[in-house]
Structure 1
Amino acid sequence: LPEPIFTPATKEEKGKHDMNIPFTKMVDIVGKEIAEKARAISLEIYRRAADYARGRGIIIADTKFEFGVANGKLILIDEVLTPDSSRFWPAEGYRPGGAQKSFDKQFVRDYLLTLPWNKTAPGPKLPADVIGKTAEKYREALRILTGKDLE
């Protein structure tokens, strides 16, 4: 996309998917000032991170930021720009509209789609090879983005 899109969502109970809401609903919930500030900060963090990642051959296809309000002030909470909260794609080999190689939790999602389960928590136990391959993908993203290894 030529410009990033801001999609607010409400935090749902554990095990349920967050619900996307229109920006107007966000304004109703947190007020215009906080809503506009959250949107502006989200887009700025994303743009900076996407530019940084692009320079290292990674596309940040999407990500999420979680905010809260404490003492009337907007605060950024939870993880930021991790393979669990973002979709990292290698720029090399990117094909618009097609399935992408990724350095994120999509590998686990794809594995879970092969299983017969009702998609409610708790999910099936992951085999060691799926955990290991996912960890490899996360370490590869770390190496590409930072030039450092965990070991």
Structure 2
Amino acid sequence: MTTDPTRRATRVHARGHWPLDRAVGAVTLAFDDRHRRRMAMTDDGGAAFLLDLPRAVALDEGDGLEMTDGGFLRVIAAAEELMEVRVSGPVESFARVAWHLGNRHLPVQITGDVIRLRRDHVIADMLTGLGAEVRDVVAAFMPEGGAYGGHSHG
């Protein structure tokens, strides 16, 4: 890929805080590619650009990358192979499962009574042993920010 050095994204604006009418395209990124500072990328239309931020930022679904020409690229969270974990029974059972995942420092996304995390057969076996129901899904992965990976934008 040849990156056009004049086509650069230099600022991030949080979802809902950038002008949608200035969107010039989108860029779909997996979780691991949504925490960067400087990297050659290709938008969904096939055009190369340079992500050139002052510091690394965790990008979320719907954020806007401000381009030097005044346009914006919308960030889309790519669908990834994940596990969905459900726990029936008392809240203590859910807390126990969440504790075991947190103790292993695994990135997780909590939506209501469902925990999503990356597929891992060893972790799936552990969760099943704790009484959880585990099923494979393909979905966007937007884990909790945590103490060290907050989702703040400059």
User: What TM-score range do you get, normalising by the shorter chain?
Assistant: under 0.3
Structure 2 length normalisation: TM-score? 0.23
Larger strand proportion, structure 1 or 2?
2
Bigger relative CO (Cα 8 Å, ≥ 6 apart): 2
Larger helix proportion, structure 1 or 2?
1
